[in-house]
């Protein structure tokens, strides 16, 4: 059963491990997407004093705002578009709009896989849906198989621009912990972020309301 409060962040957070990298602006219209207004814009900026960059991404869709949200929040779909995501699960529901996620991210050798515990808060209004995601590493016991990420934050905003167009904005930053050189981390994530978001756009563009009847 799909739960509307099961958001990514994946997501969300989710993408935050993939989103970093070059300082230039990237614009691309993915092939195979039936939505004509779905250009992806990704930029990268310095986050305070961190060597790991903050990602900012946006695109538009002609799908209904609620359907866009449901695709993004569908944890069962997340591994289909989040390239290096090993697993994601809901650890706890604190309220209808607040819950805790646990995500495991595959890391290239010789680095250990990363574990991220995130607290997710959703906000709903007629004009916009938003999801705030922040690392809360003390919510669960330490698993020594992984390196636990202690600093991460991201946000999704899904806004109705007019009767036909929805805008999706995403920002994220993460400190991967350990001895990970920033230039390696940023370079890999710059490539992976674009691949992941293009896959997400395809899923959104081809989604059907009847698949989400809750």
Sequence spans of domains, the chain = 14-211
String of DSSP letters for 126-172: SSEEEEEEEE-GGGS---TTSEEP-EEEEEEEEEE-SSS-EEEEEEE
Rounded to whole angstroms, how far apart are CA atoms 169 and 18?
A: 16
User: What architecture is the 14-211 domain classified under in CATH?
Assistant: 2-Layer Sandwich (3.30)
Tens digits of residue pLDDT in 147-168: 999 999 999 999 999 988 999 9
**pTM, two decimal places:** 0.80
122, two tokens: 């959703």
pLDDT reported for residue 24: 30
Rounded to whole angstroms, how far apart are CA atoms 15 and 11?
A: 6
188, two tokens: 């890999």
Helix (H) or strand (E) holding 95: strand 85-95
Give the number of other CB atoms < 10 A from CB of residue 95: 9
Higher-confidence residue of 67 and 26: namely: 67
Residue 21 has pLDDT above 50, yes or no: no
∠ CA 163-166-172 to the nearest 5 degrees?
160
Q: Closest Cα partner for 60 from 168, 155, 159?
A: 168
Whether 76 and 85 have beta carbons less than 8 Å apart is answered as no
Torsion angle, alpha carbons of 142, 119, 9, 91, to 10 = 60
Tens digits of residue pLDDT in 61-112: 999 999 999 999 999 999 899 888 999 999 999 998 999 999 999 988 788 9
Long-range contacts of 41-45 (CB under 8 A, 24+ apart): 42/193, 42/194, 42/197, 44/20, 44/186, 44/190
Whether the ω angle into residue 110 lies within 30 degrees of 0, i.e. cis, is yes
Tens digits of residue pLDDT in 6-17: 433 333 333 333
* Mean pLDDT in residue range 167-179: 92
pLDDT reported for residue 34: 52
Residue 206 has pLDDT above 80, yes or no: yes
Residue 45 vs residues 36, 169, 178: alpha-carbon distances, Å: 28, 15, 22
Residue 136 has pLDDT above 60, yes or no: yes
């Amino acid at each position: 059963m799909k739960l509307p409060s099961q958001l990514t962040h994946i997501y969300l957070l989710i993408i935050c491990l993939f989103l970093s990298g070059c300082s230039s602006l990237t614009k691309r219209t993915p092939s195979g997407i039936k939505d004509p207004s779905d250009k992806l814009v990704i930029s990268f900026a310095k986050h305070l004093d961190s060597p790991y960059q903050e990602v900012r991404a946006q695109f538009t869709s002609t799908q209904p705002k609620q359907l866009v949200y449901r695709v993004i929040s569908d944890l069962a779909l997340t591994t289909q578009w989040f390239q290096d995501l090993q697993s994601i699960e809901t650890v706890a529901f604190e309220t209808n709009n607040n819950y805790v996620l646990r995500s495991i991210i595959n890391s290239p050798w010789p680095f250990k896989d990363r574990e991220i515990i995130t607290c997710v808060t959703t906000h709903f209004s007629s004009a916009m849906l938003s999801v705030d995601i922040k690392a809360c590493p003390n919510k669960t016991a330490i698993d020594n198989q992984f390196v636990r990420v202690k600093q991460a934050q991201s946000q999704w905003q899904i806004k109705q621009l007019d009767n036909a167009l929805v805008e999706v904005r995403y920002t994220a930053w993460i400190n991967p912990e350990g001895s990970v050189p920033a230039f390696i981390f940023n370079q890999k994530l710059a490539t992976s972020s674009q691949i992941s978001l293009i896959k997400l756009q395809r899923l959104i563009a081809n989604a059907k309301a009847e698949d989400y009847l809750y």
